Chains A and B, each alone.
Chain A
């Protein structure tokens, strides 16, 4: 042990003299290992790590399915009464909780912000062991039908909307026409479960009783709402845990039997049934993100492989360099094992340093992931340097150190070290065998080509989506959703018309449209009278200003008129995709649907940001009581939320602003994942290029260094610079070709192995991308061959021959 410590010290002193070498290894390994660890920890947190709640392996989410009389799943959401029935009658779960996720305007705050609200039963806080900063959680005083108007704020809400004031408890807040008393604040480090999806965190908790379902809606057995959720903790009954099938069967029977009785009088539901499916909460939360994580792992692994090939080469060259030194150690009496320890000491030191750098990179990676992807990947907020990441780091460190050490050790023939001292170090000394060199080159090229190809493909795909023309304008246009619940229905049209007039009178406002914003559609069904064919398509309500405001072209027929909107005539405008569907050989104008609705115009389709296809769509006149506005401002003008709220209040104190964003913001939101993909792939591709260029250069530079006497001899005989370059290219051509073929095999393997997942990416032109990738790699290979030769062919031949005698 003492010897090893001594060797470590010697290694440190020796490495001090080689800052370039140390820097190359530490930076390459640090960055790639850091990335790999970051991605592995992400995979662990998302896929393996248990949820941070007590008894999480018994936590289930129950899904409610409406099965049509054709046996197809018509909807996957609870109906209110079924949910209540389940909650009150089930016997499988020892604890269960309900939640409904919604949003509303906090009218008690001066700037009337929109806040997200979860209506929950008190067991919610028990099941998730919610940590509190202040006050208390809901308890028996908030069970069903107590209507106790209390609220719990999230830590973040307390800080941002209430300035973190210390006397927050007992503060009164109001929204949706009700007033609540704050009784608690969740802790800063409390990990919430965003059931509605990543990014949908709750700002205010309120008892279940106050959910926005009216008395009448609470009795509708056939209407489902996807915001209704049921979480249950399975009873821990001794040895036998029921299987999923048993659980599902029991729950389905419980609900279905009762439901059939309740809807027996409704002809529509004849032959329909209810099915309940429970799934472990943990797996439900991960959902589709598995694929993204796997892709990231592949990318990181690829980088590590390239880096390892580079580093192997660096270590091997270093060992060859130290050959003389090692021979002296052997001459003095070092045994084989002790020589191995010398090598091990140096490699341990460098790899440990790399691993420390990697930890910083991993931490930076977590921060970046948290910042950019918290809204897209679940459980990202649980990313931290934890036991998993540390044990992964340690294992990687151990494995890599041993692998590199054995690689170097195998280079040394202990018996012939002696001759190294006697000869001048030329000829039969330690060299990287041609086979190892070719393996290193081929593996570099194979991995680099495959990785770069994949990244360029993903990039092209993403950029196409980002760049595609929308077919409508978003500049200077804002979408406002108003909260009008407090205004009597009959008065709404009048108030909203007043509002429109008032806004138009402002010099800032260019145009107003009342209706939904461009990228939102709801799913409708329409039956064509002519052939009784039922179409499912997207539809939305707009007014006569809509198309001109967003500059969407009308290509046939007419737009809605002001009278159409006022009278709500039974007309519709359809997009060209739908027009082609219902009138493939003629004009769709005048065609009628079962409801009596008549087509009066056809518009050119728009592209929703983030999607590259347009589905069939139709537009119908919006009611004058529609609570959504599109506001187009004149160039260089701006209208803040506060200013708009002031205008609203000017018309009626009961008008509130629910949401207000620019269309450009919405567009960027939708394009976010494409932009993130584009950026990530570019970064990965550049890193791959850099690493492989460095690696290839290193390998070939070493190879030409080893052959310098041969190069000198050829020069002496009469070879010119270009002859030497040709020789180097020919010698490495095989390895490069093998590398390219290998990459093709890898890509084909990926294609066949993951066909369904990759299918959507194969629409772009693969061949030009592969050719450009290949050209890039070949260019790098050429320079990697050529550059190391320059020192030999640009000087008189004697320089390459020095030392050969």
Chain B
């Protein structure tokens, strides 16, 4: 089992003039290839912060972080962008598609930032493939605001897959969707994982958390070692 992601005592402190917030305290975890991990916990427990650090969207205050064996704790902004582009596929709660671009261009975007510039044909090939994977190849020329919420999220998933990342990081994927669309998206993620995609997902919905194979519980910035029930008692 090869290790995709490994965190060693990672902490995150937010400082303002008046107070210090310890959002994450000494988090250590490992995600292996093919894993389906869910991170859940109450509001304010630090799960989104953890996911952003995992996705190199934010920088840890302390600790070490490795992606596929490479130490990515202290990268420059440009280096972080390169690693993000190659290794991470991010899926946001609010989709974050770019309204002015067509579905095709949205999905192709990561490839345009890729360090190896691919030919237009290659790009077309990859984009078409990923859209087929999420079942939206018939919407290839539409604009995001012509699609339903569920369809937009699936386009976002296609975008996250297009550069063949090492891991998909998913932040509350169903937060802005109705239950039917949400179920569709979750089914998609499950089938992706069955086909070998590594997924790490943040969610507060216990139903969806259960669909993962490994469940991590976060409370006040630390990972709970014992089941929740025992703590309350």
List A residues at the B interface (Cβ < 8 Å): 426, 709-710, 712-721, 723, 793-798, 801, 804-805
Contacts and interface: CB of A to CB of B under 8 A. Distances in A.
A796 B77 contact: yes
B135 interface: no
B58 interface: yes
B58 A798 contact: yes
A801 B48 CA distance: 12
Given A804-B96, A805-B93, A805-B94, A716 B55 contact: yes
B177 interface: no
B8 interface: no
B148 to A, nearest CB: 15
Given A801-B57, A804-B92, A718 B113 contact: yes
Contacts of B110: 717-718
Given A805-B92, A805-B94, A805-B172, A718 B81 contact: yes
A714 B159 CA distance: 11
Contact of A718 (B58, B96, B114, B171): B114
Contact of A716 (B48, B57, B78): B57
Given A718-B82, A718-B85, A794-B77, A713 B57 contact: no
Given A715-B81, A717-B84, A796 B59 contact: yes
| Chain B: interface size category | 20 to 34
Contacts of A712: 96
A723 B94 contact: no
Contact of B78 (A714, A721, A805): A721
Given A713-B96, A796-B57, A805-B93, A718 B78 contact: no
Contact of B58 (A717, A723, A794, A796): A796
11 contacts: A710-B98, A713-B96, A716-B55, A716-B96, A718-B81, A718-B82, A718-B113, A720-B82, A796-B56, A804-B92, A805-B172
A716 B94 contact: no
Contacts of B80: 796
Given A721-B78, A793-B77, A797-B84, 13 more contacts: A710-B96, A712-B96, A714-B98, A714-B109, A717-B110, A717-B113, A720-B82, A720-B113, A796-B59, A797-B57, A801-B57, A805-B171, A805-B172
Contacts of A714: 98, 109, 113
B58 A713 contact: no
A145 B82 CA distance: 103
A709 B97 CA distance: 10
A712 B90 CA distance: 12
A712 B77 CA distance: 13
Contacts of B77: 720-721, 793-796
B86 A718 contact: yes
Of B57, B81, B94, B98, most buried by chain A (CB within 10 Å of CB) is B81
A804 B92 CA distance: 9
A717 B171 CA distance: 14
B175 interface: yes
Contacts of B90: 716-717
Interface string B90-114: 1011101110000000000110011
B172 A798 contact: no
Interface in B140-189: 159, 163, 171-172, 175
Nearest to A716: B90
Contacts of B78: 720-721
Contacts of A719: 81, 113
Q: Shortest 9 CB-CB distances between A and B: which pairs?
A: A718-B85, A798-B58, A798-B57, A713-B96, A718-B113, A797-B57, A798-B52, A717-B110, A720-B81
Contacts of B96: 709-710, 712-713, 716, 801, 804
A715 B138 CA distance: 28
Contacts of B93: 805
A717 B57 contact: no
Contacts of B163: 718
Interface in B108-144: 109-110, 113-114
A710 B58 CA distance: 17
Of A712, A714, A716, most buried by chain B (CB within 10 Å of CB) is A716
B70 to A, nearest CB: 16
A699 B114 CA distance: 31
Contacts of B92: 713, 716, 801, 804-805
Given A718-B113, A793-B77, A804 B94 contact: yes
A703 to B, nearest CB: 13
Contacts of B113: 714, 717-720, 723
Interface string B41-58: 000000010001001111
A804 B95 CA distance: 10
Interface in B33-73: 48, 52, 55-59
A712 B52 CA distance: 12
A714 B110 CA distance: 8
A710 B98 CA distance: 6
A627 B48 CA distance: 97
A276 to B, nearest CB: 74
B83 to A, nearest CB: 8
Contact of A713 (B56, B98, B175): B98
Given A713-B98, A805-B175, A718 B52 contact: no
Contacts of A720: 77-78, 81-82, 113
A720 B55 CA distance: 15
Contacts of B58: 796-798
A268 B104 CA distance: 95
Contacts of A709: 96
A723 B48 CA distance: 26
A720 B81 CA distance: 6
Contacts of A795: 77
B59 A718 contact: no
Contact of A717 (B48, B159, B175): B159
A704 to B, nearest CB: 14
B153 to A, nearest CB: 13
A400 B113 CA distance: 46
A259 B165 CA distance: 107
Of B56, B93, B96, most buried by chain A (CB within 10 Å of CB) is B96
B109 A717 contact: yes
A805 B175 CA distance: 9
Contacts of B94: 426, 804-805
Nearest to B110: A717
A194 to B, nearest CB: 65
Contact of B84 (A426, A718, A721, A801): A718
Contacts of B82: 718, 720
A155 to B, nearest CB: 65
Nearest to B96: A713
A718 B163 CA distance: 10
Contacts of A794: 77
A438 B48 CA distance: 37
A720 B58 CA distance: 15
A528 to B, nearest CB: 80
Nearest to B77: A721
A411 B59 CA distance: 39
Nearest to A731: B100
A801 B110 CA distance: 17
B24 to A, nearest CB: 13
A238 to B, nearest CB: 75
Nearest to A707: B98
Nearest to B163: A718
A713 B152 CA distance: 15
Contacts of A805: 48, 92-94, 171-172, 175
A712 B163 CA distance: 18
A137 to B, nearest CB: 77
B78 to A, nearest CB: 5
B84 to A, nearest CB: 5
Contacts of A801: 57, 92, 96
Contact of B85 (A426, A710, A717, A721): A717
Contacts of B52: 798
A775 to B, nearest CB: 29
B12 to A, nearest CB: 10
